[in-house]
């Protein structure tokens, strides 16, 4: 409603005389796909996507980074203040630390809309696993629904799940190489299949990048920033 439809059907908003924010901020734990969300929005709207990564850009002025950061931040604020004059231009920010951002960046007219991107829940993990393994040679015994709902997957971000799938595939490859070497045979004679046992091995090598304590911290940050935007 705030980006895609405004690009596809601007006449509806013009007829209502709506003056909406052009800046949005996605925040939450690392590895949860905030940048992918922004790319998906651009793709859905059929818009060009320009990715700019300057992590320290919005640090609070007068505390961290000195005058260089302040100059960059001031320039960003100037550009965002003029964004309403450039129709069809939207700015979507992504951060793991919204609480250290300069308050001037978060006011209406700049990053006026905030959206929390959390650690995926059980159903979210299953969906992510299905996407990640779409082109992987999984055996019929691999139940992604079971894996996604398992306690071993608790607190896994999207990036953690990607690491898990890659590690399971690596275990399958290592097993194939070892079997061919033991039989002194051509490795091409052995099928490369990812079994449930490979995922079990992968769980021993991959741990959540966000701990329970950190997850609780981000949930507290979410509650704090809900006060800036209302119910999400």
Domain regions of the chain by residue span: 4-119+214-229, 122-209
Q: Which CATH architecture has domain 122-209?
A: Orthogonal Bundle (1.10)
Residues in the chain: 232
Judged by DSSP in three states, 106 sits in helix
For residue range 130-150, list pLDDT tens digits in order. 999 999 999 999 999 999 999
- The pLDDT tens digits along the chain (232 residues) read 888 888 888 888 888 887 777 888 898 888 888 888 889 988 998 888 888 767 556 666 665 556 777 777 788 788 777 655 667 788 888 888 887 788 888 888 788 788 888 899 999 999 999 999 999 999 999 999 999 999 999 999 999 999 999 999 999 999 999 988 888 888 778 888 999 999 999 999 999 988 878 878 888 887 777 665 444 4
Q: Smallest Cα–Cα separation from 31: which of 232, 225, 206, 230?
A: 206
Dihedrals phi, psi of 221, to nearest 5 degrees: -60, -40
Q: What angle in degrees, to the nearest 10, is found between the helix axes of 196-205 and 158-183? A: 120
46, burial (CB in 10 Å: exposed 0-12, middle 13-18, buried 19+): exposed
13, burial (CB in 10 Å: exposed 0-12, middle 13-18, buried 19+): middle
Instruction: Report the alpha-carbon distance of residue 48 to residue 26 in Å, rounded.
Output: 19
Which homologous superfamily does the CATH classification assign to the domain defined by 4-119+214-229?
P-loop containing nucleotide triphosphate hydrolases (3.40.50.300)
Strand pairing report for 91-95 and 23-27: parallel
In this structure, the number of other CB atoms found within 10 A of the CB of residue 7 comes to 16
State if pTM tops 0.85: no
For residue range 34-63, list pLDDT tens digits in order. 888 889 988 998 888 888 767 556 666 665
Strand pairing report for 113-116 and 91-95: unpaired
Both tokens of 218, joined, read 């981000």
For residue range 10-21, list pLDDT tens digits in order. 888 888 887 777
Would you state the pLDDT for residue 152?
92
């Amino acid at each position: 409603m705030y980006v895609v439809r405004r690009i596809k059907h601007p006449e509806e908003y013009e007829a209502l005389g709506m003056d909406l924010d052009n800046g949005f901020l996605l925040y939450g734990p690392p590895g949860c796909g905030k940048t992918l969300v922004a790319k998906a929005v651009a793709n859905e709207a059929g818009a060009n996507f320009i990715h700019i990564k300057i992590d320290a850009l919005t640090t609070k002025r007068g505390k961290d980074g000195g005058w260089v950061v302040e100059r960059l931040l001031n320039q960003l604020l100037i550009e965002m203040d003029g964004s309403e004059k450039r129709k069809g231009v939207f700015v979507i920010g992504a951060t793991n630390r919204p609480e250290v951002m300069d308050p001037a960046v978060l006011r209406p007219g700049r990053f006026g809309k905030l959206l929390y991107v959390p650690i995926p829940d059980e159903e979210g993990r299953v969906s992510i696993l299905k996407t990640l393994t779409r082109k992987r040679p999984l055996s019929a015994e691999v139940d992604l629904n079971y894996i996604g709902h398992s306690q071993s997957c608790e607190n896994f971000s999207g990036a953690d799940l990607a690491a898990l799938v890659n590690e399971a595939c690596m275990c399958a490859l290592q097993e194939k190489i070892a079997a061919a070497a033991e039989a002194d045979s051509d490795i091409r004679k052995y099928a490369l299949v990812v079994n449930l046992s490979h995922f079990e091995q992968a769980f021993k090598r991959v741990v959540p990048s966000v701990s329970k304590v950190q997850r609780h911290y981000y949930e507290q940050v979410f509650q704090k920033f809900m006060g800036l935007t209302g119910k999400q």
